[in-house]
Amino acid sequence: MAIIRQLFRQDRNPTRPLNEIVNTEQALDVRSEIDEYVFTDHTREYLRTLVDALLDTAQGQKPDVLCGWIAGFFGSGKSHFLKLAAAALENRPLDRVADGVGAFEYLVQRHELKIPHERICREFRVRSIMVNLALALGGGKREGERQLLHRLEGEIYRGWGLSRVPHVAAIEREIKATGKWETLLDLVRKRNEGADERDEQGVPLEWTDARVRDLASEAHRILEDVLPKVLHKYTNVRDYLRDREAVQASPEEVVKLAVELARSLDPELGRVLLCVDEIALYLKGSASSTFDGDRVREVQGLAELVKDKGQGRVFLLATAQLRVDDIDAKLTDLKDHVLFLHDRFPKAGRLELDPRDIDEVVRERWLQKDERSPHLQGLRQLFAEHGGLLASVAKLREIALLRDDDQLTDEKALVAYYPLLPYHVRLLQEILSALRHDDQVGHVAAQNRAILADVRQLFAAPGGLADAPLGELA
137 pLDDT above the threshold of 50: no
Cα(3)–Cα(114) distance, integer angstroms: 39
Does the pLDDT value for residue 437 go beyond 80? no
pLDDT digits (tens, 9 = 90+) for 1-32: 899 999 999 888 999 987 655 554 555 678 88
- Calculate the alpha carbon distances from 360 to 151, 191, 407 in Å: 35, 58, 14
Average pLDDT over residues 59-82: 88
Q: So what's the pLDDT on residue 378?
A: 94
Least Cα distance to 200 among 216, 211, 208, 215 occurs for: 211
CA dist 165 and 119 (Å) reads 35
pLDDT recorded at residue 96: 66
The pLDDT tens digits for 379-435 are 999 999 998 898 888 887 765 555 555 678 889 999 999 999 988 888 887 777 676
Alpha-carbon distance of 473 to 465, in angstroms, equals: 8
Averaged pLDDT, 176-184 = 96
356 close to 75: Cβ distance less than 8 angstroms:
no
pLDDT of residue 349: 93
List % helix, strand, coil for the chain (3-state, nearest 5): 55, 10, 35
Classified as helix, coil or strand, 179 is coil
pLDDT digits (tens, 9 = 90+) for 226-261: 999 999 998 899 999 999 999 989 999 999 999 999
Cα–Cα distance measured from residue 84 to residue 87, given in angstroms and rounded to the nearest whole number: 5
Query: In angstroms, rounded to a whole number, what is the distance separating the alpha carbons of residues 173 and 179?
Result: 10
135 — pLDDT class (breaks 50, 70, 90): low
Indicate the pTM of the whole model: 0.84
In angstroms, the CA 211 to CA 222 distance is 12
Q: What is the pLDDT of residue 405?
A: 55
Tell me 204's DSSP state: B
Please state the rounded mean pLDDT for residues 325-348: 75
How, if at all, do strands 350-352 and 67-71 pair?
A: parallel
Identify the H or E element spanning 316: strand 314-320
Give the residue from 132, 121, 126, 77 showing the smallest Cα distance to 99.
121
pLDDT for 360:
86
Task: Label residue 247 exposed, middle or buried (CB < 10 Å: 0-12, 13-18, 19+).
Answer: exposed
d(CA 127, CA 249): 21
Which carries the bigger pLDDT value, residue 328 or residue 187?
Answer: 187
Instruction: Identify any residues that bridge with 131 across adjacent strands, giving them in sequence order.
Output: 276
Give CA separation, 191 vs 205, 213, 467, in Å.
9, 14, 60
Total number of residues shown for the chain: 474
Is residue 108 scored above 90 in pLDDT? yes
Q: What is the pLDDT of residue 442?
A: 42
Q: Is the Cα dihedral 438, 444, 450, 451 positive or negative? A: negative
Strands in 270-414 per DSSP E: 270-277, 314-320, 350-352
CA–CA separation, 396 vs 370, rounded Å?
A: 29
Task: Write down the number of H helices and E strands in the chain.
Answer: 23, 5
pLDDT (0 to 100) of residue 18: 79
Q: Measured between alpha carbons, how far is residue 285 from residues 24, 146, 278, 293, 439 in Å? A: 20, 11, 12, 9, 12
- Could you give the CA distance from residue 337 to residue 414 in angstroms, rounded to a whole number? 49
